[in-house]
Amino acid sequence: MNPLQPVRSPATAAPASYLVGQDGDGHWVAVATGGRAGGIFRSRQDAIRYACVESGCRPDDVRLAVDPIPFRLV
């Protein structure tokens, strides 16, 4: 190993995609595919902003739900 070469960090996993919509109680939620991340928000705009930042604002990684999204805090 050459001491002048930068050390490369291992590749990280791609950010998750998010689904944004309302839960059964009318709260705005953003949920990652797989359900491992998400939250409840004051407004649709706040939920979309969170999902965009968390997904890296990649095209097609934030979708809006038509039906209520089942959401449960664990």
* Residue with the larger pLDDT of the pair 59 and 29: 29
pLDDT number for residue 73: 77
Domain ranges, ordered by start, for the chain: 18-64
CB 11 within 8 A of CB 35: no
pLDDT at 71 over 90: no
pLDDT at 13 over 70: no
* pLDDT confidence band for 14 (50 / 70 / 90): low
